[in-house]
């Protein structure tokens, strides 16, 4: 194996954790983590340059809510902070990925292995 291996990045947040976006008014629960940016260049270029985050950090897939709307979001670690409200979200897809909300976080569903 080459010595130019990419160092594994440690994510600050974990699956099931509820976070808040620092720039945009939404909360979300993390359901997947990329160790660095792993979306399309088209998506990247759509972000205004003045607020475009570095690609060299973990990015999170979120079930997000903002007021009455719900969606799937992709956000950089630097744009997220812990949501300390202790309140669950109201996202229609949360029951597909998580069993329940307990002690301020979502517990992932157990997956059956083949």
Q: What tens digit of pLDDT does each residue of 42-52 get? A: 999 999 999 99
Segments of the chain with pLDDT less than 70: 1-9, 111-114
Q: Write out pLDDT tens, residues 3-23.
A: 333 445 689 999 999 999 999
pTM check: above 0.85: yes
Residue-level pLDDT at 9? 63
Q: Provide, rounded to the nearest whole percent, the portion of the chain with pLDDT above 90.
A: 85
Burial class (CB in 10 A: 0-12, 13-18, 19+), 74: middle
Quickly name the fold that domain 18-108 has. Answer: SH3 type barrels. (2.30.30)
| CA separation for the pair 19, 70 (Å, rounded) | 15
């Amino acid at each position: 194996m080459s010595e130019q291996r990419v160092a594994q990045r440690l994510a600050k947040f974990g699956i099931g954790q509820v976070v808040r976006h620092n720039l945009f008014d939404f909360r979300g629960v993390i359901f997947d983590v990329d160790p660095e940016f792993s979306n399309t260049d088209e998506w990247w270029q759509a972000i205004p340059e003045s607020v475009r985050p570095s690609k060299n950090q973990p990015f999170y897939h979120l079930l997000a809510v903002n007021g009455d709307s719900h969606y799937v979001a992709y956000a950089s670690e630097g744009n997220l902070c812990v949501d300390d409200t202790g309140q669950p979200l109201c996202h229609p897809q949360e029951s597909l990925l998580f069993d329940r909300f307990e002690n301020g976080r979502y517990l992932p569903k157990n997956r059956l292995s083949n």
